[in-house]
Amino acid sequence: MPIHDPIDFVCGNNLELAGPMLDGAGMPLDLTGATATWQLNSCDGLTNLVALAVGSGIEINTSGDLLVYLSAEQSATIPPGITTGSASRWADGRVFTMWNGVIRAGALTA
């Protein structure tokens, strides 16, 4: 499971993440028929702050990229601090965690 570098964003702003879904050889996965989710959780993993799915904040394009869109309204509900984000995909009944890592949420200043 790839662990991404820390990502910073400001609560109350849009957050857009994009990245390839690659196999073990580094080649783009065939995502035909696949679905995906993305979650933002508290650092201890006990509280889910945001959950997105294909058609509701997630897009899978034909070149094997996963695109995650968190609206300003959605991010405004996230308390500032350190969180963890992860993306998973499903295909043929199998589940794979494709991205995981720290996402630092900063306070929106006036």
Q: Please write the tens of the pLDDT for every residue from 48-100.
A: 999 999 899 999 887 778 899 999 999 999 999 888 888 787 777 777 777 78
Band the pLDDT of 3: cuts 50, 70, 90. low
Give the model confidence (pLDDT) of 23-54 as tens digits.
778 788 777 778 888 898 888 888 999 999 98
pLDDT, residue 74, reads: 93
Q: State the Cα–Cα distance between residues 75 and 12, nearest whole angstrom.
A: 5
The architecture (CATH level 2) of 7-21+35-106 comes to Sandwich (2.60)
Domain ranges of the chain: 7-21+35-106
Asked if 12 contacts 60 with a C-beta cutoff of 8 angstroms, the reply is no
- Cα dist from 43 to 38, 56, 72, 84, 108, whole Å: 15, 24, 21, 6, 20
Distance, CA of 31 to CA of 15 (rounded, Å): 23
- In this prediction, residue 5 carries a pLDDT of 79
Is residue 69 within 8 A of residue 59, CB to CB? The reply is yes
Output the pLDDT for position 13. Answer: 93
pTM of the prediction?
A: 0.82
